[in-house]
Structures are given as C-alpha cells and as structure tokens.
Amino acid sequence: MSNMNKNTVHIIFQIGQKYPSCENGIWIDFKDNTFLFVVKDDIWTQEELSRLKTSDVTVSFIQKGIIDAFVLEIFDCLEASDLPFYVKDGDAEFIGAIKSKNSFAFEIVFVSGSDEVVAVRHEEFNKEETTTLHEKLQKRLVEETDGSMFEAAYEKLISRFEPFELLEFAVFTKKCSLRKN
C-alpha cells in the first residue's frame, strides 16, 4: 500500500518485486482494474527512474478502425509509445472489469534486465474517462472481429503512422502532473 494525497492507493507492483520473465520492450497487461504499462530495459539510469516518478505523464486512449490502444508519453523520459490490445483476447478478469462499473487506473512499471521492478507510477482515470473506457470496450466485445483481423489492421496502422501520429485518433487524453500550479 502507498499513501498519496491522503488517499490509499492500491499499487499492483512494488519496487524490488520480481516481474514475470519477459523480453525487453513495452507492452500492456491488466490486473485489479488497472492497466499495466510495462517497460523493460536492461539498464535504467537514476535520471530515468526519477523522471518516471516526477515528470508529466500523458496517456491517450485511441480507437482507429478495429484497433484500441493507449499511447504513453513520459516527459523527457519515454517518447510516445503505442500499447495496442485486442479486447476479446482478454482473460475473464479483464472482460469482467469491462462489463463492471468499477473505476480504472493505470500503472507504469519499469522492469530491469534481471526482471526486477525498479520504478512504479500509479495514476487513476477519472469517472468520465472510466465511463468512456467501459462504453467503448463493451462495444468491442460484441463486434464481429477476430484476432487475425486485429493483427492485420494493427500492422497496417503502424506501417502508416508513428506512435505520436496516432494521437489524432484519441478518444481522450489524460495528463498527469505532480507539479503544483
């Protein structure tokens, strides 16, 4: 548990915890009503770790054709990266969460080459953003698509657009700043 702004926040991964073994890169997972944006690299500098914890973060939810994705940006740390996901490939927990009215959050997890969590940032989606995610993703569950159609559409999309260019298809953009205004 962590205490932020006098509210108790449930953090999925803790610093020092082992993350399931995986390759370097960035990908999306889901647990406990939280979208996990996992970034693995062999080496993280102190500056990068500090920036995850303190820099502005922008998360955009995009839809283009049959593609759903988040675009993640961390100011002066991580350029725009796309995190596509095919709703129907989700496990029972993910499908149940989409059908529920529960609030959503996201967590950015930096993982080292030795599969250790070295930094975590947890943020909440507000009520409007959560409602939008529920509505848009519930519609995806009943569309007549399959995984191969999604893969072909995603390959076509990334051949035409860089991740930052996908922002024009944003359904919403959430900006998270720890700076006092």
In sign, the C-alpha dihedral spanning 117, 178, 56, 137 is positive
Backbone angles phi and psi of 18, in degrees to 5 = -80, 135
Considering the entire predicted model, what is its pTM?
Answer: 0.91
What separation in angstroms does the CA of 125 have from each of 14, 41, 65, 102?
20, 26, 24, 11
pLDDT digits (tens, 9 = 90+) for 113-130: 999 999 999 999 999 999
pLDDT (tens digit per residue) in 48-85: 999 998 999 999 999 999 999 999 999 989 999 999 99
The structural domains of the chain, with segments of one domain joined by +, span 2-172
In whole angstroms, give the CA distance from residue 160 to residue 142. 27
Q: Contact 118/112 with Cβ under 8 angstroms? A: yes
The reported pLDDT for the residue numbered 3 is: 37
